[in-house]
Structure 1
Amino acid sequence: MGSTETQSEHEPARNYVNGGWRTPAEEGLDIINPATGAHLSTVPFTSREEVDEVVATARDAFEDWSRRPVEERIQPLFRFKQLLEERQDEIARTLVQDHGKTLKEARGELRRGIENVEVACGIPTTMQAGHLPNAAPAIDETAVRKPLGVFAAITPFNFPGMIPLWFLPYAVATGNSFVLKPSEQDPLTAQRLFELIDEAGFPDGVINLINGGVDTVNALIEHDDVAGISFVGSTPVAELIYEKAAANGKRVQAQGGAKNHIIVTESADLEFAAEKTVSSACACAGERCLANDVVLVEESVYGEFADLVVTIAEDQTVGNGLDEDTDIGALISREHEQRVRNYIQTGIEEGATLLRDGRDVTVAGHEGGNFLGPTVFGDVTEDMVISREEIFGPVLGLSPVADLDSAIERLNNSKFGNAASLFTTSGVDANAFKHEAEAGNLGVNVGTVGPMAFFHFGGRKASFFGDLHAQGEDMIHFYTDKTIYIERWPDA
């Protein structure tokens, strides 16, 4: 463990390598507060030579760390969890300024991250494999899980506090060493997490942080001593990383984009469904892969439901995420805000009915912020771009459908398969949805289908590339391999 120094305001983002802080060599990007436009810091990028040094450090640390008793390996995780609890509000405020979401959302995100640390502390039980005495005459067989080496995670801008904790705790608890490459758009949250990691007492080199862009990512993917790669981001990049990492002989899990659907039946509690629909589509300003932003509503209740959605959307307060009254914070960047605006214009040009326009929102005193209010389209058809492509903004599309079967068919036609929700009071409908909907995370009367940390985070089709997902038991399998030990002791 290195020093427990903290980063000063406006100081460049730094790497954490071998228990100490270092400033990368290459010029990078400015870090801008999405809500105010104020300059927060800069993020230098890590060169390929520096990546080589970090991986070598992690590889050396693995040799000792992997041999330590599992009970010893989880002790720093217990301390890390306690520090996260104690500093949660402080980190949440950094996250808001770094990313733009609301303080409530930042606190919730960190809570989900802490849950993963808690689950990883149970590795002494969950890492156990199996034993069968007398598998053959006078032969016992045992499956033993063993760590594999250095693992890396490349994480996105939208959950800078939670998603690194989908991977990091499990990797080190199972006996591996770890390198995190956070998004270059909001790296300050990772800095705060690593200040706590430094304080928690992990041995030098076991957990490392590097900042950078595409070249840094490629250096990790191509490095011979990196055993596996975890990625969360857009589908085109996820597919590329999956192919490239696999071609370089690595284990890889790559979570991609989404276009999630809600189905509302005529038996549903419409007011409840409308409330959860707006929350799902607009929370975190729509910048999340679990946003349900296409809503398929049975024709008999379509008009009533659409009115409810518009009314609830009108009540949302857009503003600086540090203000407690804010419901929808800022988008990550001016460029991304413009991208979402372009999607809205496309929806208008394609003939969708604009029920609520969120483009004219203003936030007093924050003229430099990247803000959009909730935008609601009606009569969105399956062939429209806004129905097919991930928008990643507070944009919601409503479509009337004849019945549940038609809705499930349309949902299944999507190239994505991340999540879907059904609102109904019919057990028959819920059962059909459970068995026929093609998505990795399904919810009934649940607006946002976010699995708890002890279940894996599902994803299918173009939403996921790999076979072992984030969180839960899948992580144990991803970070270890089984050795089969066959034992016979014949009589002398």
Structure 2
Amino acid sequence: MTSTLNDIETLHHLIGGEAISTANRTGAVYNPATGEQTGTLPFADATTLGHAVDIAAAALPGWRATGMAKRANIMFNLRQIIVARRAELAAIVTAEHGKVLDDADGEITRGLENVEFCAGLVHHMKGESLEQASTGVDVSQIRQPVGVVACVTPFNFPVMVPLWMVTTAIAAGNTVILKPSEKVPSAVLWLAEAFREAGLPDGVLNVVHGDKETVDAILDEPRIKAVSFVGSTPIAKSIYTRAAANGKRVQALGGAKNHMVVMPDADLDAAADAAISAGYGAAGERCMAVSVVVAVGDIADDLVARIGQRIKDVKVCDGTTPGADMGPVITAASKQRIEGFVAGAAAEGATVVVDG
């Protein structure tokens, strides 16, 4: 399906509080439930990123000197803004990621936990001291911001992961370059505006969009002192290697899927319910998704039958539909890849119990 030009929103970077669009390279943003293009997204090149770093570096001294109480108050304000408008934010998540509204709202709750944690930074940022660590020697430990830091966040949690990374970095006195997944940019722009409304000075949080070229520019930019990433394992390894070689602190979290082990004495109805919830929630696009169920002993056939019965009751549709259990996967390419797994399973010796 296609959209008319009037329906397609032109999105932007947010640098120093200013909406900036670069026309050299762009990407399309889609509603995965309909396949319609909903937005056009500018991709940042090294020049645009350099401008964002200029702004973040200029904002750093003032933000670092800002008192802890004022930083904490901004976090309190941010929490109130998100709580008051969480339905609006959840709808944005569903429109670009596809997860059902209840799941999107749950993601916001998890993100708010970290906002609340950072509201207590007056305590968390305390250092330590030890008198007479050795004869005549006292030891003191203080916590100071690293400087300009970058956060590269994934498509599967457009609110939760940015709030986990960004609030902690900002609360500690750093300034931030945030590069969200190009598939789900609008939730991050919403959050950045909420930060401004909460009282965060311009330049402390800057949003740039893009793809590998943009991320490579982040990894090679010497003024960015630390990088935090969540995504696939191959990309995590690549980012860790390149950023570390450039002398940056790196947090690179790769893909994670769970195995579920069902013992012979388990409640099989409860186990089947748990398998469905973990496998189909958020279309399986989360780190806590169960990809493999291991049945111990002679319970496998009974467990598979119960799971098969429940799969038929999973309501798969647009995430905004009341009673929806599962929305679409993120892209048409993802859908095709999953269909290929199902189509190839029988040829590899598997028994296909339920086929879409």
Q: TM-score, normalised by structure 2?
A: 0.95
What letter is aligned with 1:262? M
The Cα shift of 1:138 comes to 4.1
Which residue of 2 is the match for residue 120 of structure 1? 118
Q: Among 78, 81, 94, which residue is 1:80 paired with?
A: 78
Which residue of 2 is the match for residue 129 of structure 1? 127
The answer to whether the Cα contact below 8 Å between 2:32 and 2:330 also exists between their aligned partners in 1 is yes
Q: Deviations over 1:207-240 (max 9, x none)?
A: 1111111111111110000011111111111110
**Residue 288, structure 1, aligned to residue 286, structure 2:** yes
Which residue of 1 is the match for residue 334 of structure 2? 336
**Residue 159, structure 1, aligned to residue 157, structure 2:** yes
Which ranges of structure 1 fall in alignment gaps of 5 or more residues? 1-7, 359-492
Superposition map of 1:288-307 within 5 A: 288-307=286-305
Q: Distance in 2 between matches of 1:124 and 1:302?
A: 52
Over the aligned positions, Cα root-mean-square deviation in angstroms equals 1.4
What letter is aligned with 1:219? A
Superposition map of 1:428-447 within 5 A: none
Q: Among 9, 12, 17, which residue is 1:11 paired with?
A: 9
Q: Distance in 2 between matches of 1:93 and 1:9?
A: 17
Which ranges of structure 2 fall in alignment gaps of 5 or more residues? 1-5
Secondary structure of the 2:353 match is strand
Bigger helix share? 2
Which residue of 1 is the match for residue 39 of structure 2? 41
Q: Distance in 1 between matches of 2:124 and 2:212?
A: 35
Which residue of 1 is the match for residue 223 of structure 2? 225
**Residue 209, structure 1, aligned to residue 181, structure 2:** no
The Cα shift of 1:117 comes to 0.8
What letter is aligned with 2:244? A
Secondary structure of the 2:54 match is helix
The Cα shift of 1:347 comes to 2.0
Which residue of 2 is the match for residue 176 of structure 1? 174
Secondary structure of the 2:85 match is helix
Secondary structure of the 1:42 match is strand
Q: Among 191, 194, 213, which residue is 2:189 paired with?
A: 191
Q: Deviations over 1:465-489 (max 9, x none)?
A: xxxxxxxxxxxxxxxxxxxxxxxxx
What letter is aligned with 2:295? V
The answer to whether the Cα contact below 8 Å between 2:13 and 2:42 also exists between their aligned partners in 1 is no
Secondary structure of the 2:130 match is strand
Q: Distance in 1 between matches of 2:323 and 2:112?
A: 25
The Cα shift of 1:140 comes to 2.6
Superposition map of 1:465-476 within 5 A: none
Moved over 6 A (4+): none
Secondary structure of the 1:146 match is coil
The Cα shift of 1:335 comes to 1.2
Q: Distance in 1 between matches of 2:242 and 2:148?
A: 17
> For structure 1, which segment, 46-55 or 71-80, has the greater mean C-alpha deviation from structure 2 after superposition?
71-80
Which residue of 2 is the match for residue 262 of structure 1? 260
Q: Distance in 2 between matches of 1:152 and 1:292?
A: 30
Q: Distance in 1 between matches of 2:286 and 2:302?
A: 27
What letter is aligned with 1:354? V
What letter is aligned with 1:55? V
Percent of counterpart pairs with the same letter? Answer: 38
Residues 9, 147 of structure 1: CA spacing in aligned structure 2 closer, same or farther, 3 A cutoff?
farther
Q: How many residues align?
A: 351
Which residue of 1 is the match for residue 3 of structure 2? none
Which residue of 2 is the match for residue 486 of structure 1? none
